[in-house]
Structure 1
């Protein structure tokens, strides 16, 4: 027989989970964005990793659930659509999600008389967030070339999972008829999300949730999902979920498959066996996950030596706008003034000695230089001297050649035929240079076809011309014979 957990035990376990979360909160973490869609479907578990900043992802599935009828009230049949919206725009490690569904179900009552009716409505709307507090890093075995044993040995760090903290709120929005235990209303939901990447193809996700905390029947649940990648596009999973409260325990076990259509779209399907208290049945689903990828990596501009490039103040003022520049000047009056470029530079004693040792005596006497500790630095910008130049005596002579194109020839005059042909030839040469080997082969084949076509046409024309000449010759011979006959008759 199953032993039901009391609310006090739930609270003790919840405290332990949150202590573990706070301990792991201080650990480091890296970016979450991946080049391919990272979907939780078709499983019920959630990965500790977020979708990444600038990504808007929708995961949906059509499901059908059917179980045996029970005495008093039960839901023997449910059909609906699930929606999970995920996004991350504050930071890489934080994800916000919205979970809800629309379903149509059969509500049954079985006692002395059996009766049932259909009801449609929204399922409970949950708003939640998760934060990756620790990400486990693994050694890259592919770079190990010295030892075959080390390259193929198991990395024991993979037994330590990546951890995320989950916190959400059941808003109570939804049809109360689908809630058999009176848990409708506002209630918090917390959890811990774990993931072990045992190999590059196999990972295990574990979720522990404490749900509907402030209601009369709080729930403690766990989900364990093992996912295996068959290749770059196909993957399969095996999952077990158990939800327990003070009334009963609901459990399901199932499997499914997912297909990566492209980097932003995934299709999936699953089938489960359900045990809801004393009732048994099945659950089937088919769905898709799609993401709108607006992610942009942060970067820092550096110079050729790897030093960060600071933005120019002039450009910053340009970006500010009219009022921004005015308020910037007002606040600048009370700020600390920057040193001017022509401020005196104090030289060290070692620098002075080095200059004296490396300077000739003649140079000192000729230039009349005296070395001092303080040297006036020349300003960065100097105003150039303006010198007026007298005009020369050279006069521009008119060219004897006439310009083509009339009065507007310089503006609208066309090029000569030679220039046009030269430009055309140049363009063709540039086009040939840019073309790849395949394109060149394609063009050559095209030219060969055209040449063959032209040869066939020429042969046809020659044959046609020959026929016409023969026909003409025959006509002339016939005409000649007719004339000879006519002359004989006249004679």
Structure 2
């Protein structure tokens, strides 16, 4: 798995710098995977939700029920390609074992601070203006098979509740973030993640998420997450969910997950919302022959979008 991570790590154009900002909110919820694109400069975004998790390890006769909440904060500054973020989660656990001795724990279970940067973005041919050839207009652009690539680096702090502290202290997290826009409606995200680096509890995982926009308001996703850890069997879960665009700055979502192993049952459900405070402004280009500043049409009109933004702009 290490060799894989080492060997490997929604329409847009560029003007002086590559645009990341979208006129419609672009959230990572309700999936676990993350896009390589940032929210854009001077944008603050809050992605929060409540979740319930039920696990049952039949071989050990141990079951646990968890209810919690999480907040993922994203902030764009300095560069369009750069994003700073932080995630905090609080949960309450109830664990039951074969001796019928229940255990309860609660507190901050995760506090991670990090940043991501887009190192390569794939450009696609705009076929909407193609009028001479029907075949060219509707043919598949092979460039869509080459993903846009981002990198993430973060620190898992140990400012956690007593029940969730890592004996090894702080640890590090790294990821390679890939995105393929296979069509204007269909997007595939692939994340390759190394977590708890420098800790005895380190592990590797990949997440593959396929998202499809049903309309300019609704989209759904399916997702596979597989985790590899030393001396443990791979843990696999699959999820599905819906997202609803309430307005350009607010998205609502719901999801559910499970696995299919006889010796280990797992269910997870969540509801949440994403909201942004948008203070983004386009770069002003000054020309000596013009008295007042002009905005670049390429930059302001062809901003990189998510599924919602592309469909919304098409219909308007």
TM > 0.5 between the two? yes
Structure 2 residue corresponding to 1:211, chosen from 186, 195, 209:
195
Question: Hey, what's the Cα distance between the residues in 2 that align with 1:75 and 1:168?
Answer: 31
Match of 2:7 in 1: 16
Question: Hey, what's the Cα distance between the residues in 1 that align with 2:170 and 2:143?
Answer: 40
Structure 2 residue corresponding to 1:96, chosen from 67, 84, 97:
84
Deviation for aligned residue 1:284: 0.6
Contact persistence 1:67–1:274 (CA under 8 A): no
Unpaired runs of 5+ residues, structure 2, are 10-15, 295-316
Structure 2 residue corresponding to 1:158, chosen from 122, 140, 144:
144
- Deviations 1:276-335 (CA, angstroms, capped at 9, x unpaired): 8932031110000000001111112224469999xxxxxxxxxxxxxxxxxxxxxxxxxx
Deviation for aligned residue 1:67: 1.9
State the TM-score, normalizing by the size of structure 1: 0.55
Check if 1:255 corresponds to 2:240. yes
Normalized per residue, the structure richer in helix is 1
**Structure 2 matches for 1:97-116, cutoff 5 A?**
97-110=85-98, 113-116=99-102
Deviation for aligned residue 1:16: 3.0
Question: Hey, what's the Cα distance between the residues in 2 that align with 1:275 and 1:103?
Answer: 25
Structure 2 residue corresponding to 1:194, chosen from 141, 166, 178:
178
Match of 1:40 in 2: 28
Deviation for aligned residue 1:115: 1.2
Unpaired runs of 5+ residues, structure 1, are 1-8, 22-27, 310-491
Question: Hey, what's the Cα distance between the residues in 2 that align with 1:30 and 1:207?
Answer: 22
Match of 2:75 in 1: 87
Distance change >3 Å, CA 14–CA 149, structure 1 → 2: closer
Question: Hey, what's the Cα distance between the residues in 1 that align with 2:83 and 2:274?
Answer: 17
Three-state SS of the structure 2 residue aligned to 1:114 is coil
Question: Hey, what's the Cα distance between the residues in 1 that align with 2:26 and 2:208?
Answer: 18
- Deviations 1:315-371 (CA, angstroms, capped at 9, x unpaired): xxxxxxxxxxxxxxxxxxxxxxxxxxxxxxxxxxxxxxxxxxxxxxxxxxxxxxxxx
Check if 1:57 corresponds to 2:42. no
Match of 1:407 in 2: none
Question: Hey, what's the Cα distance between the residues in 2 that align with 1:164 and 1:95?
Answer: 11
State the TM-score, normalizing by the size of structure 2: 0.84
Contact persistence 1:37–1:263 (CA under 8 A): yes
Match of 1:290 in 2: 275
Deviation for aligned residue 1:175: 2.6
Match of 2:250 in 1: 265
Structure with bigger gyration radius: 1
Deviation for aligned residue 1:68: 1.5
Match of 1:367 in 2: none
Distance change >3 Å, CA 149–CA 15, structure 1 → 2: closer
**Structure 2 matches for 1:390-409, cutoff 5 A?**
none
Distance change >3 Å, CA 291–CA 74, structure 1 → 2: farther
Contact persistence 2:5–2:192 (CA under 8 A): no
**Structure 2 matches for 1:46-445, cutoff 5 A?**
46-70=34-58, 74=62, 76-110=64-98, 113-178=99-164, 185-248=169-232, 249-274=234-259, 278-304=263-289
Question: Hey, what's the Cα distance between the residues in 2 that align with 1:33 and 1:14?
Answer: 29
Contact persistence 2:40–2:76 (CA under 8 A): yes
Using CA pairs under 8 Å that are at least 6 residues apart, name the structure with larger relative contact order, 1 or 2.
Answer: 2
- Deviations 1:231-261 (CA, angstroms, capped at 9, x unpaired): 1110000001111101322221010000000
How many residues align? The count is 287
Deviation for aligned residue 1:148: 0.5
Deviation for aligned residue 1:114: 2.1
